[in-house]
Amino acid sequence: MGVSERSLSEHTVVETFVGRFDQHARQDFKWRIDHAITQGYRFVVLNMVAVTFIDSAALGWLVLAQRRFHRIGGKLGIIAPMGFVRDILELTEIHEWIPIFTSEDEARKTFEGPGDSTEAS
């Protein structure tokens, strides 16, 4: 799985995932979440539009990461996954724990409010 990171504001970061989100991605995912928290981000948005596969281990990591963010007053969100990944997320009702958004802007506005557009350049 390939991952890139982009800050939306001082409180929100977007992690863009590409490829398969499975047991082989565990270390990278854990590192990304740990890094976001140590950098002071309270909100992490996972852009999963280009994720082609997700397994049960990855679903568990998502829930555990959401719990970590909840403890620090933050949240984890997911941007509109496609196909198989969307089907799995709907089937497991992950949206009950982690909100699913259609865009980065929608996630930022939900997490930080509409007047908080301190986007990084």
What is the third-level CATH fold of 2-111? Transcription Regulator spoIIAA (3.30.750)
Residue 41 near residue 13 (C-beta atoms within 8 A): yes
pLDDT tens per residue across all 121 residues of the chain: 788 888 888 889 999 999 999 999 989 999 999 999 999 999 999 999 999 999 999 999 999 999 999 999 999 999 988 889 999 999 999 989 999 998 888 888 888 776 544 443 3
The Cα–Cα gap between 34 and 43 comes to 12
Pairing mode, strands 43-54 and 100-101: unpaired
Amino acid identity, residue 114?
P
Radius of gyration in angstroms for the set of CA atoms belonging to the chain, rounded to a whole number: 13
Model pTM?
Answer: 0.85
Q: Which residues pair with 46 in a beta bridge?
A: 15, 78
| For the chain, domain boundaries | 2-111
- Parallel, antiparallel, or unpaired: how do β-strands 12-21 and 43-54 relate? parallel
Burial level of 79, CB count in 10 A (0-12/13-18/19+)? buried
